[in-house]
Amino acid sequence: MDIFIQQLINGLVLGSMYALVALGYTMVYGIINLINFAHGEVLMVGALVSWTVVTALGDTGWPGWVLLSLSLVAAVLVCMALNVAIEKLAYRPLRNAPRLAPLITAMGMSLLLQTLAMILWKPDYKPYPILLPDEPYEFMGATINLVQILILGVTALTLAGLMALIHGTSLGRAMRATAENPKVAQLMGVRPDRVISATFMIGAALAALAGVMWAANYGSVQHTMGFLPGLKAFTAAVFGGIGNLGGAVVGGVLLGVIEALGAGYIGELTGDVLGSNYQDIFAFTVLILVLTLRPQGLLGERVADRA
Amino acid sequence: MNMVTDMGTLDTREPLLDVSGVGKRFGGVQALSEVGLRIQAGQVHGLIGPNGAGKTTFFNTITGLVPSDSGRFALAGRAYKPTAVHKVAEAGIARTFQNIRLFADMSALDNVRVGRHVRTRVGWWQAVLRTKAFVHEEMLIERDARALLDFVGLGDKALQTARTLSYGDQRRLEIARALATEPKLLALDEPAAGMNATEKLALRELIERIRQDGRAVLLIEHDVKLVMGLCDHVTVLDQGRVIASGTPAEVQRDPAVIAAYLGTGVHA
Amino acid sequence: MRALMQSSSGMPRLRLFIGCALALAVLPLALQPLGEAWVRILDTALLYILLALGLNIVVGFAGLLDLGYIAFYAVGAYLFALLASPHLTDNLPALAAMFPHGLHLPLWGAIPLAAVAAGLFGMLLGAPTLKLRGDYLAIVTLGFGEIIRVFMNNLDAPINITNGPKGINSIDPIHFGRVSLGEPWYLPAWLPAGLEGVALPPVTLHYYLFLLIVVGAVVLTQRLHDSRLGRAWVAIREDEIAAKAMGLNTRNLKLLAFGLGAMFGGVSGVLFASFQGFVSPESFSLQESVLVVAMVVLGGLGHIPGVVLGAFLLAALPEVLRQVAGPLQAMTDGRLDAAILRQLLIALAMIGIMLVRPRGLWPSPRHEDQLMPDVADAAKAGEGAR
């Protein structure tokens, strides 16, 4: 019980970030049936753009939270533009291509983004400045700091905002309709290209937010930082039920908690044969188990194959 | 042995396909209840009914694509459990699909050659070593595939990629491929859909030829003329139930059938 | 050229074949004077070609998008590394006692062993994926690949099996009896003057061995393709439900694809381990798996000549560019070096080819492509029916 609360908190924080990225995956998959392999890289770009802004404005003497907010706005804008451009240039022409083609393109895009980031920002790990007061607060025997509290809070707010968007606006309706049945939606006057672009933009904004959170929480940025979280967030989306927004959130948070608890207890559980450096395996094990035992995920529905 | 026509010895008094009591529920909808039919060897049996009656679902249950909740199935006198699709094909039921499911990027000839897979046995190591057995079997496979293509009238299009064939040709190719598995029962799901009058005539002649070889044919069709002219026996489904079964003439006069198609009052 | 390849047999094809064979035989000797690095590029390319041919069975023939293929490469490489180097005997005294001369598994033992081990692994990893659709299958295989990499990186405690991130070195070079490919071979004295005493360096010796194995692999996979098994795999790729409906046991066929494909990976791994002399988990990253997938898809999914071409281009071209990268590196303040250029090229190639030629650089020739152009167009116009 000693590390349980601590790991739980760490897991919830991690899970929040996974949830934000998982939403992007699940929305895109729900609408065009594509696993956007490059989505994790959007998180990375968001983090790096934020770092650039914060570093550039470092000498101005402005308070930390101002720098953080400005950099967040910059990250979101850049990532939204980037994602829309990627969709238009690389994925849209392949809408009707055999299913392997967009997958390969997405993988290529992921590699391209990482390489361009490596060229632009150089390969070294860069420390992310501490912008907010970081004294730890005591909570039930564990510690939590302001950044972590903010992550949990901002994520909750963002999710509420997203729900309002999806269920309360015409864009949200259009997105849901296109996800269900693109042809009929089109007949009803929905412009699929617009809806898809909007989906990519929203996904990008969420990923950029997650990127800034990640940088602030873990304190460093680098061009490879998005890849593994991206993969795990995808796992979370599948875990919760791909195409299901609630599932993405549940999956993300659960995966974060499982990973944190697992990393904390694995030494004990395996008699020190396996250490916490095996942490990455948890996500993949969950993925394999889910897809083997319950492929529709926790909240998804079975889709039968029509003859 | 002429693979195309030899059916082996069959007891023609026993029904070739004997299915009864098939039930299937999808969520809240009872798609099939107590559905059954009997087909004799050499018979063309039509399965008709309004859209959504459950005809394709029934096909899917007897071929194993969709597990049924209940039902008894027997082929050539032997009971079978339609759980594994490929085993059903092995046992002797071959089908075509409503939306045509060809191997689009393969040639017509290759499509039919794949149909021969289940009746051939040479293993991959023999393929790698190019043994005599392998070479001989490949020759037989090609010979039989070409014969089938000729049988359905696609002999000159053997090397064409399947996706470039005309609609009518694609349907015939699907039939040739199904025949390649040497089925006892050929189940055709709306083979005439989208065909013009000439093509339908050619299809009818083809089915007649198939029947003459001693196979049984189960046919889902919407074209009433085709069904009436071709089928020995017709079963009518409506909303998952059998509402009539008999010769085409009998079924045509059945008031329940007329009501189902034309509708009296509110129809769900 | 295509017409020559298509004719079923005959003199023109034989002449082409002999010409290619001679060119390939002489190639390293022509490149040697320019520097051994060039021949080394060929050797690396050949290993990748072998990998691509194996993956082609899984991805190209059967249509199963395996993103964890590099795991089988790792299995073969580590297997040989463990059984033909001082590592195990250094770390496990019990083993050292049993094998006082050390572990030196010869090639003729290593290759079949690695093939079988990798093959079994392939079926093991493939088994849970049998019911999965394309995208999910990709992710699960990716997951398996990553899991194996994590294990490779961390199985150095409590018992040091893989030596973790440090890897295993001092691996035996390939040897046949007393001839070792790690030593240069001098052409015998009875050859005409000028040729005698010429040295064939180890890179060249490896080239001939690898070439032989690659040629064997090409023949093997081509024969598999032109058989009922090959057609069955392509049928599964095209439409699995229809394939099942025609009586194909798709489960067993897919397992067979995984297993046979993995075998190539294992064999390639053995060759790699002995060629390089050391192995470390770095060589078996996800990026490598993606690279091999790219080779197969870019070359021409399922089409063996295309796959060979794709593998060669993606393996050799970046290395060749490395030679010209020097000035670029200076120009851009060190941001653009050979490794980065390679990555950039591969990424652009993947995106570009899918947009421009989604079937690959050299796809399977279709009957329609060989007809007169207008007839071909008319035939393709009929495609609109679906």
Q: What is the pLDDT along chain C (386 residues), one digit of tens a residue?
A: 444 445 455 677 888 878 888 888 888 777 777 777 888 889 999 999 999 999 999 999 999 989 999 999 999 999 999 888 888 878 777 777 787 777 788 888 889 999 999 999 999 999 988 888 777 888 889 888 888 888 888 887 777 777 888 888 888 888 776 677 777 777 766 666 666 566 778 888 888 899 999 999 999 999 999 999 999 999 999 999 999 999 999 999 999 999 999 999 999 999 999 898 889 888 888 888 989 998 998 888 889 999 999 999 989 887 777 766 666 666 666 667 777 888 888 899 889 988 988 888 898 887 776 665 555 455 555 444 33
d(CA A265, CA A260): 9
- Give CA B248 to chain center in angstroms: 19
Q: Nearest-CA distance from C344 to chain A in Å?
A: 6
CA distance C142 to B99: 33
* Model confidence pLDDT, tens digit, residues A87-96: 999 999 988 7
- With contacts defined as CB-CB under 8 Å, which chain C residues touch A283? 143
Residue A306 lies in a domain: no
* Chain-chain contact of A107 with C350 (C-beta, under 8 angstroms): yes
Residue of C nearest to B167 (CA): C385
Residue A173: inside a domain, yes or no? yes
DSSP state of C185: E
Strands A142-144 and B233-238: unpaired
Picking from A89, A96, A100, A278 by the largest number of C CB atoms within 10 A of its own CB, the best residue to mutate is A100
User: A 247-306 residues with CB below 8 A of B?
Assistant: 304
Q: Where are the beta strands (DSSP E) in chain B?
A: 17-26, 29-39, 44-48, 70-75, 78-79, 93-95, 185-189, 216-220, 233-238, 241-246
Q: Look-up: residue for tokens 């699909």?
A: B97
When scoring C291, C351, C356, C357 by the number of chain A Cβ atoms within 10 A, the one with the most, hence best to mutate, is: C351
Shortest alpha-carbon distance between residue C175 and chain B (Å) = 27
- A166/chain B closest Cα distance in angstroms: 27
Which positions in chain C touch B102 (Cβ < 8 Å)? Answer: 238-239, 242
Counting one residue from chain A and one from chain B, the pairs whose CB atoms sit within 8 A come to 11
Q: Do A281 and C150 touch (CB under 8 A)?
A: yes
- Return the DSSP state at C364: P
Pick from C106, C53, A305: which is nearest to B67 by CA?
A: A305
B241-246 and C175-176 beta bridge pairing: unpaired
The reported pLDDT for the residue numbered C324 is 66
Q: What is the CA radius of gyration of chain C?
A: 22
Return the domain boundaries, chain C: 36-283
Contact B165 C227 (CB under 8 A): no
Q: How far apart are CA B53 and CA C319, in angstroms?
A: 64
Say if A303 falls within a structural domain: no
Count of residues in chain A? 307
Residues 6+ apart with CB under 8 A from B259: none
Among C135, C150, C314, C336, the strongest candidate for a mutation testing the A interface, having the largest count of A CBs within 10 A, is C135
> Which of residues 89 through 148 in chain B touch A, CB cutoff 8 A?
97-98, 101
Asked if C230 and C224 count as a contact pair (C-beta separation under 8 A), the reply is yes
Q: Does A107 touch chain C (CB under 8 A)?
A: yes
Q: How far is C223 from chain B (nearest CA, A)?
A: 5
Cβ pair A123, C336 in contact under 8 A: no
Instruction: Chain B: give the shortest CA distance to residue C221, in Å.
Output: 8
**Is A14 a domain residue?**
yes
- What is the 8-class DSSP label of residue C283? G
Q: In total, how many domains does chain A have? A: 1
Exposure of C300 in the CB half-sphere (CA atoms within 13 A): 15
Exposed e or buried b per residue across C327-346, where buried means at least 16 C-beta atoms within 10 angstroms of its C-beta: eeeeeeeeebbbebbbbbbb
Which residues have CB under 8 Å from C17's CB, separation 6+?
none
pLDDT in tens, B203-219: 999 999 998 888 899 99
- Of B55, B58, B57, residue with least CA distance to B73: B58
* Domain hosting residue A204, numbered range: 2-122+137-293
User: How far is the C-alpha of B184 from the C-alpha of B76, rounded, in Å?
Assistant: 8
Residue of A nearest to B105 (CA): A98
Q: Which stretch of DSSP H or E encloses residue A137? A: strand A137-139
Q: Mind listing the pLDDT tens digit for each residue in B90-133?
A: 999 999 999 999 999 899 999 999 999 999 999 899 999 999 99
DSSP B157-202: GTTSBGGGS-HHHHHHHHHHHHHHT--SEEEEESTTTT--HHHHHH
A199 close to A31: Cβ distance less than 8 angstroms? yes
Mean pLDDT for B153-167 is 92
Are residues C235 and B106, on separate chains, in Cβ contact within 8 Å?
yes
pLDDT, tens digit, 9 for 90 and up, residues C234-280: 999 999 999 999 999 999 999 999 999 999 999 999 999 989 888 98
Residues of C in contact with B85 (CB under 8 A): 241, 244-245
Residues A1 and A290: their CA atoms lie apart, in Å, by: 28
- Structural contact between residues A13 and A155, judged by C-beta atoms closer than 8 angstroms: no
* Residues of A whose CB is below 8 A from B59: 307
Give C-chain residues touching B115 at CB under 8 angstroms. 246
Note whether A103 contacts C135, CB cutoff 8 Å. Answer: yes
What is the model's pLDDT at position C236?
Answer: 94
Neighbours of chain C (3+ CB pairs under 8 A): A, B
Q: What is the 3-state secondary structure (H, E, C) of B138-158?
A: HHHHHHHHHHHHHHHCCHHHC
What does the pLDDT average to over B27-40? 89
Question: Helix or strand or coil: residue A142?
Answer: strand
| Residue that has been written with the tokens 């049988």 in this structure | B151
Distance CA C263, CA A154 (A): 50
User: Which chains pack against B, by 3+ Cβ pairs within 8 A?
Assistant: A, C
Of B130, B138, B161, the CB nearest to C368: B161
What CATH number does residue A215 fall under? Answer: 1.10.3470
Give the separation between CA A220 and CA A130, rounded to whole angstroms: 10
Q: What count of residues does chain C have?
A: 386
In this structure, what token pair is assigned to residue B118? 């289940």
Separation of alpha carbons C128 and A288, rounded Å? 8
CA distance C49 to C265: 10
C181 touches C209 (CB < 8 A):
yes
Q: Are A207 and A218 in contact (CB under 8 A)?
A: no
Q: DSSP class of residue C56?
A: I
Q: Identify the residue whose tokens are 């699907």.
A: B174
Per residue of chain A (307 residues), give pLDDT as tens.
578 888 899 999 999 999 999 999 999 988 888 889 899 999 999 999 999 999 998 888 888 888 899 999 999 999 999 999 999 999 999 887 777 788 889 999 999 999 999 999 988 899 998 888 888 888 888 888 888 999 999 999 999 999 999 898 988 888 888 888 888 888 888 888 889 999 999 999 999 999 999 999 999 999 999 988 998 998 899 889 888 888 999 999 999 999 888 888 877 777 666 666 677 787 888 888 888 788 788 887 655 433 3
Would you tell me how many other CB atoms lie within 10 Å of the CB of residue C76? 30
**Do B210 and B180 form a contact (C-beta atoms < 8 A)?**
no
- How far apart are the C-alpha atoms of C360 and C357, rounded to whole Å? 5
CA distance, residue C134 to nearest chain B CA (Å): 17
Which of these, C1, C359, C293, A103, lies nearest to B161 by C-alpha position? Answer: C359
CA nearest A226: which of A243, A241, A213? Answer: A213
CB-count exposure of residue B136 (10 Å: 0-12, 13-18, 19+): exposed
Sign of the dihedral through C-alpha B100, B106, B112, B114: negative
CA dist A58 and A243 (Å) reads: 41
Q: Which tokens go with C161? A: 């099996």
Cα torsion C219, C224, C227, C233: sign: negative
Cβ of B163 and C232 within 8 Å?
no
| Helix/strand number for chain A, H first, E second | 11, 4
* Structural contact between residues C273 and C336, judged by C-beta atoms closer than 8 angstroms: no
Residues in chain B, overall count: 268
Residue A132 maps to a domain: no
The DSSP 8-state label assigned to residue C165 in this structure reads G
Q: Enter the ipTM.
A: 0.90
Other C-beta atoms within 10 Å of C103: how many?
17
Q: Is residue A130 part of a domain?
A: no
- Does A37 map to a domain? yes
Residues of C in contact with B176 (CB under 8 A): none
- The reported pLDDT for the residue numbered C178 is 65
B vs C, Cβ pairs < 8 A, gives 124
